[in-house]
């Protein structure tokens, strides 16, 4: 896909801060707000290693580290591993529906329960949300490409995935879930269901965001094979260099 030029309403790089993924590193992010973010521009940006959050797109721009590597699954070659098939079986009672992103009290309660659990278990900073904050972060602007993957057990909302639907792929933007569901592998299950949906809609790739080889909590992303890794996050006037990694699946 050719690059797309656009003007930005805002573009800036954050000050260095402790890296949340590698304790010995500092982190910086480059943010921009395109004047008009449509499906084609977003796909061009995601192909080059950018990610979307609300009306912002961002990429790592750390001065001394390039370990955040965008990872995408090659869908027509993907076959679930034995452990991934077990995850599907363990969650066969979970129902998926795909809707436009929206917010209810159940969304806010589930989001806050997930983040309280992550604060307790992994020492995440407090990140509780309100109805308005949730709307501003995940729904504001009502982008044509945004979708919500809802996971329910006996009608009860237990997981939400915010996903960008591109012309050639699917990009996972955010996922949160009921802490009580954690033991059944909801993160892996949600990716498998996104892959099923993307294949059914004849898409080529599933973009899983950034992967760091040294960070064990990101190891699950590399278990979806075959996958490509982006050599570096580049700007819209540069060509992306995706490389296939060797397959090691079980």
Q: What is the pLDDT along the chain (250 residues), one digit of tens a residue?
A: 444 556 889 999 999 998 888 888 999 999 999 988 899 999 999 999 999 988 889 999 998 899 999 999 999 999 999 999 999 999 999 999 999 999 999 999 999 999 999 888 777 777 789 999 998 888 876 678 999 999 999 999 999 999 999 999 999 999 999 999 999 999 999 999 999 999 999 999 999 999 998 888 788 899 999 999 999 999 999 999 999 987 766 5
- pLDDT for position 1: 44
- pLDDT for position 142: 61
- pLDDT for position 55: 84
8-244: what fold? Aminopeptidase (3.40.630)
- pLDDT for position 122: 73
Question: What's the per-residue H, E or C state across 73-132?
Answer: EEHHHCCCCHHHHHHHHHCCCCEEEEECCCCCHHHHHHHHHHHHHHHHHHCCCCCCCCHH
- pLDDT for position 120: 82
C-alpha separations of 194 from 78, 98, 108, 120, 181 in Å: 12, 10, 22, 28, 18
- pLDDT for position 2: 46
The DSSP letter of residue 246 is P
Predicted TM-score of the model (pTM): 0.91
- pLDDT for position 250: 57
- pLDDT for position 197: 97
Round to whole Å and give the CA distance between 217 and 212: 9
* Contact between residue 209 and residue 68 where contact means Cβ atoms under 8 Å apart: no
Give every CB contact of residue 67 below 8 A, 6+ residues apart in sequence. Answer: 22, 25, 212, 213, 214
C-alpha separations of 2 from 43, 92, 134, 170 in Å: 10, 41, 34, 18
């Amino acid at each position: 896909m050719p690059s797309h030029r656009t003007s930005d309403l805002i573009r800036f790089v954050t000050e260095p801060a402790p890296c949340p993924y590698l304790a010995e590193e500092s982190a910086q992010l480059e943010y921009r707000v395109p004047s008009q973010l449509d499906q084609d521009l977003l796909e061009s940006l995601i192909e080059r290693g950018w990610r979307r959050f609300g009306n912002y797109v961002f990429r790592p721009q750390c001065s001394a580290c390039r370990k955040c590597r965008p990872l995408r699954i090659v869908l027509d070659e993907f076959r679930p591993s034995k452990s991934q098939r077990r995850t599907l079986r363990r969650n066969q009672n979970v129902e998926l529906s795909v809707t436009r992103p929206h917010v209810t009290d159940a969304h806010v309660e589930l989001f806050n329960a997930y983040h309280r659990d992550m604060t307790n278990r992994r020492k995440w900073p407090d990140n509780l949300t309100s109805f308005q904050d949730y709307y501003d972060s995940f729904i504001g602007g009502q982008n044509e490409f945004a979708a919500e993957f809802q996971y329910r057990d006996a009608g009860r909302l237990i997981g939400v995935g915010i996903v960008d639907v591109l012309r050639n792929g699917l990009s996972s933007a955010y996922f949160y879930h009921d802490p009580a569901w954690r033991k059944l592998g909801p993160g892996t299950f949600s990716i498998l269901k996104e892959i099923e949906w993307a294949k059914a809609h004849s898409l080529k790739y599933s973009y899983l965001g950034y992967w760091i080889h040294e960070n064990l909590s990101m190891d699950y992303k590399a278990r979806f094979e075959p996958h490509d890794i982006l050599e570096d996050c580049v700007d819209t006037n540069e060509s992306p260099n995706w490389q296939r990694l060797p397959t090691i699946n079980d």
